[in-house]
Structure 1
Amino acid sequence: MKLVHLSYPVKNQISNKKIVLALGFFDGVHLGHQHLISVAKEIADEKNLPLAVMTFDRHPSEVYAGNTDFVYIDTLEEKANKMEELGVDYLLLLKFTKDFSKISGQEFVDNVIVKLGTDTVVAGFDYTYGARETANIDHLPNFAKGRFEVIKVPKQTMDGKKIGSTEIRRAIENGEMELVNELLGHHYVMSGTIGHGQRNGHKLGFPTANLVWNEKKAIPKIGVYATKTKVNGKWYNSMTSVGYNITIGQPKRIYIESNLFDFDEDVYGQPMEIKWYKYTRGEKKFASLDELKEQLKKDQDEIKAYFAKSDK
C-alpha cells in the first residue's frame, strides 16, 4: 500500500488508471468502516481498478470548532496498517486547513474527487464534504454530473445502535473495553515506547513497563485492566494500571504501567504495544505499601484467571 499526502487543490491523478475512492475519516477502522471498505474493494476488484481510501490529516472539528483536545482511536501509522490489511492500494491523506474548510461541495468534487481520476465513490450514509444541508452523500450525484458513480453505504448497527467512532471513543474513556472490542472488531491498542518510571513496581515485586504514548490517543479511564503487552516482538498476558500513583503521592500525571506476567527484562526505550481486554477495578488509595502490594497480588491472580479462561 502507498501512503500519499495531498493538499488542496489536487493537481494530478495518483494512478495511471481510474480509481475506486472510499471516503471517510475512518478513525479506528471499526466494523462499519471495514464493511464500507469491503464494498469498495469488491467494486474495485470487479472493475480491475485500484482501491484508494481518502481521509484527512486531522479531524475536521479541530479546524471547524478549534477542538484542540480531540483524541483519536488510531495514530496515522495504526490506521495505515489496518488499511493495508484490508487490501487498500492507496491511503490518501488530505491536509485539512482553515482555507480548505471553507470550500463548497462543488469545489470539493471538481478539485479533489474528479482530479484524482475517480471512477466510483463509496461513502457512508452520513458523509459530508461541506455544508451538511447541501454537501451530503444524497446530493453528491448532482455535483458529480455523471463524471463518476456514487455508492451510498447504509448505517451499520449493533444491537440497534450505530457503530461509530464517537461511540467507541466514549466507550474507551468509560473503560468499557469489551464493548470497544465488539465495535472495533478487534481489541483497542495503544503503542509507543517504554519509558523510565518511578520503579515503584519493582520495589513492590511487580516490575512494570511504562508506556510513553502519543498524547492525542484516547486513554481508558483510570483503573486496572486485563491486557496483553507486546515487547521484543512477543505478546505477554499482563495487568495494566492507568492512574496517578496516588498511594505514593504522585497525583499530577497519568501513568500507564504494564506488569507483564512471566517477564523480567530491561527493555527501556524499546517499542511497546498494549492490547486492552477488560476493566477490573478503579484506582484506590491504600494506607500502606504493604496493603498496595497485597491488592496487586489479588489483581494479578484475578487477571491470570481471566486469561486462563478466555484463552481456551
Structure 2
Amino acid sequence: MKVINISYPFQKELTASKVVLALGFFDGVHIGHQKLIKEARTIADEKDLPLMVLTFDRHPKEVYAGVKDFEYLNSPQEKAYEMSKIGVDYLAIIKFTPEFSHLAPQAFVDEIIMGLKADTVVAGFDYSYGPKDVANMTNLPTFAKGRFEIKVVPKQIFAGEKIGSTEIRQAIKSGNLTLATELLGHPYLTSGQVVHGYRNGHKLGFPTANLQLDWRKVLPKIGVYATMTRVGDSWYQSMTSVGYNVMFNNERNIYIESNLFDFDQDIYGEQITIAWYKYLRDEQKFADLAGLTEQLRQDQQDSEDYFSSLVE
C-alpha cells in the first residue's frame, strides 16, 4: 500500500488509472469501516482498478468546530497499518485546512473526487462533504453529474446498535474492552515511546515501561488491565496501569505503565504498542508498599489466568 499525503489544491495526477474511491475519516478502522472498504475492494477487483481511500490528517471538528482536545482511536500510522491489512492500494491523506473546510460541495466533487480520478465512489450513508443538509449522499448524484458511479453503504448494526467510532470511544473510556474489541475487530491499540519514569515499579520487583503517547488518543478509564505489549516484532503478556501514580505522588498527570511478564530488556527510547484486553481493577492507594506489592502479584496472576482462559 502506498500512503500519499496531499494538500488542497493539488495539481499533479496521483495515479495512472482511474480508481475506486472510498470516502470517510475511518477513525478506528472498525468493523463497519472494514465492511465498507471490503465492498470497495470487491468493486475494484471487478473493474480491475486500484482501490484508493481518501481520509484527512485530522478530524474536521478540529477545524470547523474548533475542538482542541479531540481524542482519536488511531494515530495516522496505526490507521495506515489497518488499511494495509484490508487490501487498500492507495491511502490518500489530505491536509484538512480552514481553506479546505470552506470548499463548496460542487467544488469538492469537481476538484477532489474528479481530481483523484474516481470511477466509483463508495461511502457510508452518513458521509458528508460540506453542510450536511446539502452535501450528503442523497445529493451526491446531482453533484456527480453522471461522471462516476456511487455505492452507498447503509448503517452497520451490532447487537442492535449502530457501529460507530463514538460508541467505541465510550466503550474504551468505560473500561468495556470486550465491546470495544468486538466493534474494532481487534483489541484497542496504543502506541508510543518508552520514557524514563520514577523506577518505583523496578524497586518493587515489577519494572514498568512508561509510555509517552505519540498521538492524542482515547485512554481506557483509570485502572489496571490485562494487556499484551509489542516490542519489536514480539508480543508479551503484560499488565498495564492507567492512573495518577497515587502511591508515590500527588500529581494530576496520567501515566501509562506496562509491566511485561518474562521480559528483561532495556527498551528506553523504543516504540512499543499496548493491546488492551481486560479491565482488572480500579487504581488504589495502599497503606504500605507491602500491600501494593501483594496486589501487583495478584494482578499478574489475574492477567495470566485471563490469557490462559483464551486458549482453553
Per the normalisation by structure 1, the TM-score is 0.97
Deviation larger for 37-46 or 295-304: 295-304
Aligned twin of 1:235:
235
Aligned twin of 2:84:
84
Aligned twin of 2:109:
109
Question: Are positions 1:261 and 2:261 aligned together?
Answer: yes
Provide the aligned C-alpha RMSD in A.
1.1
Deviation larger for 223-232 or 124-133: 223-232
Aligned twin of 2:65:
65
Contact 2:75 2:215 (8 Å CA) reproduced: no
Question: Are positions 1:143 and 2:109 aligned together?
Answer: no
Aligned AA for 2:114?
V
CA distance in 2, matches of 1:263, 1:7: 44
After superposition, where does 1:38-187 map in structure 2 within 5 Å? Answer: 38-187=38-187
Match of 1:13, SS state, is: coil
CA distance in 1, matches of 2:105, 2:166: 24
CA distance in 1, matches of 2:17, 2:34: 24
Aligned twin of 2:13:
13
- Identity of aligned pairs, percent? 58
Q: CA deviation at 1:177?
A: 1.0
Q: CA deviation at 1:14?
A: 1.5
Aligned twin of 2:296:
296
CA deviations on 1:109-161 (whole Å, 9 max, x unpaired) are 01110111110000000000001001001110010000000100001110110
CA distance in 2, matches of 1:15, 1:103: 23
Match of 1:175, SS state, is: coil
Match of 2:138, SS state, is: helix
CA distance in 2, matches of 1:171, 1:17: 41
CA distance in 1, matches of 2:229, 2:291: 26
Structure 2 residues not aligned, in runs of 5+: none
Q: CA deviation at 1:169?
A: 1.2
CA distance in 2, matches of 1:309, 1:165: 29
Match of 2:189, SS state, is: strand
Aligned AA for 1:146?
G
Match of 1:138, SS state, is: coil
Contact 1:8 1:111 (8 Å CA) reproduced: no
In structure 2, the CA distance between the partners of 1:56 and 1:299, relative to structure 1 (3 Å rule), is same
CA distance in 1, matches of 2:130, 2:292: 53
Q: In the comparison of the two structures, how many residue pairs are matched?
A: 312
Contact 2:189 2:275 (8 Å CA) reproduced: yes
CA distance in 1, matches of 2:22, 2:154: 14
Aligned AA for 2:222?
I
Match of 1:190, SS state, is: strand
Contact 1:208 1:259 (8 Å CA) reproduced: yes
Aligned AA for 1:27?
D
CA distance in 2, matches of 1:221, 1:214: 19
Contact 2:5 2:94 (8 Å CA) reproduced: yes
Q: CA deviation at 1:215?
A: 4.2
CA distance in 2, matches of 1:262, 1:9: 52
Contact 2:193 2:214 (8 Å CA) reproduced: no
Aligned AA for 2:240?
T
Deviation larger for 201-210 or 23-32: 201-210
CA deviations on 1:86-108 (whole Å, 9 max, x unpaired) are 11111011111112111211110
Aligned AA for 1:177?
L
